[in-house]
Amino acid sequence: MLYFRLAPRPMRAAVLLCCLLAGMARAGEKPEAAAGNPAQRTAPASSVVLDPARQRLAGIETRRLEAVEYRPETRSLGRIVDIQPLLDLRSRYRAAQAEAKITDAALQLARKNRDRLASLHSEAIVATRELIHAESQLAADEARAVTARHRVRELQEEGLQLWGAELFKAAVAGDSRLFEDLLQRRRVLILVTLHHDQALPADASRIMVAREGDRQAAQPAELISAAPRTDDIVQGETWFFHTDARKLRTGMRIEAWIPMSAATLSGVIIPRSAQIWHEGRSWVYLQTGEDYFVRRPVDSHRDYGDAWFVDAGIAPGESLVIQGAQLLLSEEQRHAIPDEDD
């Protein structure tokens, strides 16, 4: 049999009194005492409380979102075309035209001379030898004129095969404002190559182009015509466009955004710096109060260069965190971890 030795009666009374006082003190503790620091306030899941002073220290930056009109687009590749081969072709074409005019003039003169000598020969005024010589000269001039006209037609066909009707016509017309702008480097010629499964919509007379995939810095490009030849690798449709030269140079690779339909959507632009990845989803933080931030998912979006276009779930006028979103996520996760005492 086991026996327990009890403490003396006075000691037992003292211990019991201490326990009672401790319980009363804990029960009377005010909850407001834990709310003295805003960062310690209890926040719902997917939100963070961070006072303005700590926001400045953490480099938190926000931007009020503005409404943006957007047409669904597909992205393609393009390059700035060197027009020197077109200039060479224009020079050869004009020389051939001049040669054709000269041979036509010589042919008309030879024909008139033959007709005059034939009339005089019928009246026995000139010898047969002179008429034969005139007819021989006429035949030679006819052959030269035919050859010159064929040369002009061959250069036309070369231009159509290499550049298409619209661009070749602009090059040789002599009064084309577009070609003059290309010559003066006010505008540049762009060859856009679509992917093999893409097609240019019938109403797509204008697209947007930019260097380095910067959609927000894109500039408009106007359609000229279809290009006769495709790319050896991509094997898709090719189209000629022209755009303001600005900082574009011959040979540069660019990206093109081609509208897929005439319908427009209204939404906001989410920059890459605002995007975070957590639990297999994309998120952003929105500031809904002076010290209050809410994490919101972005499940549906469209590429907008190095940003996203979003037309659902986030509205114009809301304050988006554009710098420091990852820090807010870390802060949220830190407060979600229970203390050891809990």
What is the C-alpha to C-alpha distance for residues 321 and 285, in angstroms, rounded to an integer? 6
- One-letter amino acid of 170: A
Output Rg (C-alpha) for the chain, integer angstroms. Answer: 41
Asked if 303 and 58 count as a contact pair (C-beta separation under 8 A), the reply is: no
Distance CA 88, CA 168 (A): 12
β-strand partners of 242: 189, 222
Mean pLDDT on 236-262: 92
- Tens-place pLDDT, residues 209-220: 999 888 888 999
Name the strand (E) or helix (H) holding 277.
Answer: strand 276-278
Check if the beta carbon of residue 83 is closer than 8 Å to that of residue 142.
no
pLDDT at 340: 55
pLDDT band at 183 (very low <50, low <70, confident <90, very high): very high
H or E segment at 293? strand 292-297
pLDDT for 159 equals 95
| Span between the terminal Cα atoms of the chain, in Å | 41
**Average pLDDT taken over every residue of the chain:** 84
Residue pair 236/191 in contact by the 8 Å Cβ criterion: no
What is the average pLDDT across 62-76? 89
pLDDT digits (tens, 9 = 90+) for 297-320: 998 888 887 789 999 899 999 999
Strand partners, 68: 267
Helix (H, G, I), strand (E, B) or coil at 294: strand
Mean pLDDT of the region 244-257? 93
- What pLDDT digit, counting tens, does each position of 74-102 carry? 889 999 999 999 999 999 999 999 999 99
pLDDT band at 292 (very low <50, low <70, confident <90, very high): very high
* pLDDT (0 to 100) of residue 231: 81
Pair of tokens at residue 34: 């834990």
CA separation for the pair 246, 260 (Å, rounded):
26
Q: How far apart are CA 214 and CA 206, in angstroms?
A: 18
CA distances from 161 to 158, 167, 209, 239 (A): 5, 11, 26, 14
**Lowest-confidence pick of 19-33, 103-117, 282-296:** 19-33
Query: Given a cut of 80, is residue 118 above it in pLDDT?
Result: yes
Q: How many angstroms separate the CA atoms of 148 and 159, rounded?
A: 17
| The pLDDT of residue 112 | 95
Can you give the pLDDT at residue 46? 81
What was the pLDDT predicted at 336? 65
Mean pLDDT, residues 176-203 taken together: 92
Give the amino acid at 224. Answer: I
In 10 A of CB 57, how many CB atoms? 10
Reply yes or no on whether the pLDDT at 19 is more than 80.
no
The percentage of residues in the chain with a pLDDT greater than 70, rounded to a whole number, is 85
Q: Which residue has the higher pLDDT, 248 or 10?
A: 248
CA dist 228 → 82, 148, 167, 290 (Å): 16, 26, 11, 60
**Of the candidate ranges 12-21, 57-66, 168-177, 309-318, the one whose mean pLDDT is the lowest:** 12-21
Question: Does position 21 have pLDDT exceeding 50, yes or no?
Answer: no
pLDDT of 285 over the 90 cut: yes
DSSP assignment of 198-212 equals: ----TT--EEEEEST
The set of residues, in sequence order, having a beta carbon less than 8 Å from that of 190 and lying 6+ positions away, is 78, 79, 80, 81, 209, 221, 240, 241, 242, 243, 254, 256
Residue 222 has pLDDT above 80, yes or no: yes
- Residues 131-149: what's their mean pLDDT? 95
- For residue 326, give both structure tokens: 């990852």
More confidently predicted of 104 and 264: 104
What integer pLDDT is reported at residue 279 of this predicted model? Answer: 86
- Reported as a pLDDT band with limits 50, 70 and 90, residue 108 is very high
Q: Among 66, 54, 65, which residue's Cα sits nearest to residue 328?
A: 54
Contact 269/68 with Cβ under 8 angstroms?
yes
